[in-house]
Chains A and B, each alone.
Chain A
Amino acid sequence: MQSLKRFNWTDVFMWVVGAALLILTIIGSYLTLQQGKYTTVQWFDLAVFGLAQGSVYALIALGYTLVYGILRMINFAHGEIFMSGAYLGYFVATSMQRSGFMQENPLLGIALIFLTAMTTSAILAAILERIAYRPLRGAPRLVPLITAIGASFFLQYVFRGLFGTQNRAYPEIAYIQGAIPLFGNFQIQKIQLIVIIAAAVMMAALAFFVQYTKTGKAMRAVSEDKSVAALMGIDVDKIITRTFVIGAALAGAAGVLYCFMFRIVTFYMGFIPGLKAFTSAVLGGIGNPPGAMLGGLFLGIFESLGPTLFLDGLGIPAPYQLKDVIAFTMLVMILIFRPTGILGERLSKTKA
C-alpha cells in the first residue's frame, strides 16, 4: 500500500513528456544522419561554434554560480553586468578603430578593450552589491531576488537612456578575422579559436585563484559558513564584494568575446545570454564552479548542434530559429529530473 500512495499522476505525466522528448530527439538525430544532408566539415564547424558560444556562457555562468555559492542568491542583474562591459568595450573598440590605433597595435588594442570591459563590469557589480544587495542581507530569500530583477531592469534602461535603442555594429577588427586551415577541408575561425582559448585561460586562472590563494580559500570558507569565517578573522563583506567583482570581471570579458563573435551591441543584449548562462549554471549544479564551466560548454554545443541534429530530420523548417527553445526546454527538463544539476549543487550552510 505504501508504494501505491507514492504514485502520482503528475510524475507520470512528466516522465512521459521527458521520454517523448528523448524519443523525438533520437528519431530526429537518426533521420538527420540518415539523410546525410550535412558533411563532416559542417558538423565540425557547428561543434566549434558551439564550443566558442559555450565558452562565453561558461564565463558568465561562473558569475552566477560564485555569487550563489556564497549568498544563495541568483544575481539576475548579472546579464546586465555582462552587457555593460560589452557596451563600454564597444566604445573603446570603435574609437581605436576610427583613429587607426587598432590597425597599428591590434594586440594592445584588444587588451585595452578587455581592460575597459572588465573594469566597467567589476565596478558596476561592486556598486550594485553595496547599494542593492548588502542592505538586504538576512532578508528572506525572495527579497534580494526581486531586487536583482529590479536592478537588471534599472541597468538596462539606464543604458537605453544614455546610449539609445539602436543596434550598434561592433567594429571589424582585421587582426582577428579569417580562418586557420587545419587538415583537408577543415578550418577554424580565428575568432572562435580566440574565444575558446581566452575563456579557457580565464577559467584556469579562476580555478587556480579559488584553489590556492588566500582570498580564494577564504571565499570557499565563507561559502560554507559565514559566522565561523568571521570568527577566523575573515571580513565576510569584503570577500562577498570580491566574489561579485571576480564574477563581474569574467562577465565583462565574456561580453567582449561575445561581441567579437556576434558583432552587435544593444542595451538588451545581456538578457538572453544571461538566461542561457543561468541555465548553464543550473545545468552544471548551481554553486559549483566546475559545474558552471561544464554546463556552459554543454549548453553551447547542444544549442549549436541540436537544431540541425534533432529538428532538421523531423522536417521542421528553419530549425536554427528554435535553438532557444531547445536551450530552455533543457532547463525545464533539468529542473524536473535533476534539479541539482550534473555535478550537484554546493551550498552555503546558512543562507545569506
Chain B
Amino acid sequence: MSLLSIENIHTYYGNIHALKGVSLNVEKGEIVTLIGANGAGKTTTLRTISGLLKPREGKVTFNGEDLAKYKSHEVIYKGICMVPEGRGIFARLTVTENLEMGAYSRTDKTEIQNNMEKAFTIFPRLKERRTQVAGTLSGGEQQMLAMGRALMSNPNVLLLDEPSMGLAPVLVELIFDTIQDINKSGTTILLVEQNALMALGIASRGYVLQTGQIVLSDSAENLKKNPTVQKAYLGME
C-alpha cells in the first residue's frame, strides 16, 4: 500500500475543471516529482492533497485513510505538510515565530525545541537571523524558512511547491541538496517543479501533468531519456 495515493481526482475552481482525473502514488521514503507547464494543475494537485481544495470526485488516501473528512488545518496532524508556492512565510513575524507557527500542531515543548534546533542545523542562516522579521529575509532565506517551518511539524510527507522559484542557481543547488538530506532522514517528498531537470535529478520517479491530466509516469531515469519530456520540459531538441 502506498503511503500517499490519489485516485482519479477532479478538482474545480468555480466552474473551471482544473484536475481531470489525476491519479498518483507516493511510496514511503521516496522523492516523487510532478512536472508540467504553467497552468497544468501541479499546484492544484498539492492544494487538493493538503485539503485547501476539495475534489469533487476521487479520493486522497494517506496511510490507507481517506482524507476527505479532514479540513485543511487538520491534514497537518495526519503528517502531511506543504510548503506553498511563493513560500508563504509570515512576513511580519520573526523567523523564530514563523518556525513556532510551523509547530502549531505540536504541543510537546521539548520536541518543538528539538525540531527548532534541527531546523537551525539544516539552515544555519536561519539561526543567525532568528530575531529578524521574516519579510526582511532574502528570497533564498525565505525558502529556507518555509522549508524549516514545514519540518517543525515532523511531517511524514513534505509537499514542496516550486522550491526553486525565483532563486539564483547556486541557491537552487543548495535547496535541492537539502531536499535530498531531508529525504535521507526519513521524510517522503512530493516535489512540484518547473525546473524539470533538477527535479528529475533527485527524484526516483516522476509524473508529467498536462492540462489537468497525468500524461506520463515513469522512473526519473526513463523520463529524462523520454524524447517528449526532453523536448517539452528539458529544453532539448
| Residues of A participating in the B interface, judged by any CB pair closer than 8 Å | 214, 217-218, 220-221, 224-225, 227-236, 346
Contact = CB atoms under 8 A, between A and B. Distances in A.
A230 B90 contact: no
Contacts of A220: 90, 92-93, 97
The list of the 9 closest CB pairs from A to B, nearest first, reads: A233-B105, A228-B88, A233-B76, A230-B72, A230-B73, A233-B104, A224-B90, A235-B73, A232-B104
A231 B97 CA distance: 15
A56 B105 CA distance: 37
A107 to B, nearest CB: 37
B202 to A, nearest CB: 23
Nearest to B102: A232
B206 interface: no
A229 B101 contact: yes
A214 B107 CA distance: 11
Contact of A217 (B77, B84, B100): B100
B153 interface: yes
Contacts of B82: 231
Contacts of B89: 228
Contacts of B51: 230
B93 A224 contact: yes
23 contacts: A217-B97, A217-B101, A221-B90, A221-B93, A225-B90, A227-B72, A227-B84, A228-B89, A229-B73, A229-B90, A229-B101, A230-B52, A230-B72, A231-B50, A231-B72, A231-B84, A232-B104, A232-B153, A233-B76, A233-B104, A234-B104, A235-B73, A236-B73
Contacts of A224: 90-93
A231 B93 contact: no
Contacts of A228: 84, 88-90
Main secondary structure of the interface of B (DSSP, over half): loop
Nearest to B152: A232
Nearest to A225: B88
Contacts of B76: 231-233
Given A227-B84, A231-B81, A221 B101 contact: yes
A231 B52 contact: yes
Nearest to B89: A228
B73 to A, nearest CB: 4
B149 interface: yes
A234 B72 CA distance: 9
Contacts of A217: 93, 97, 100-101
A346 B92 contact: yes
Contact of B101 (A234, A235, A236): A234
Contacts of A231: 50, 52, 72-73, 75-76, 81-82, 84, 88
Contacts of A236: 73
A225 B92 CA distance: 11
B92 A218 contact: no
Contact of B149 (A227, A232, A346): A232
A218 B73 CA distance: 12
Contacts of B93: 217, 220-221, 224
A70 B104 CA distance: 18
Nearest to A220: B93
A69 B50 CA distance: 26
Nearest to A228: B88
A140 to B, nearest CB: 14
A219 to B, nearest CB: 11
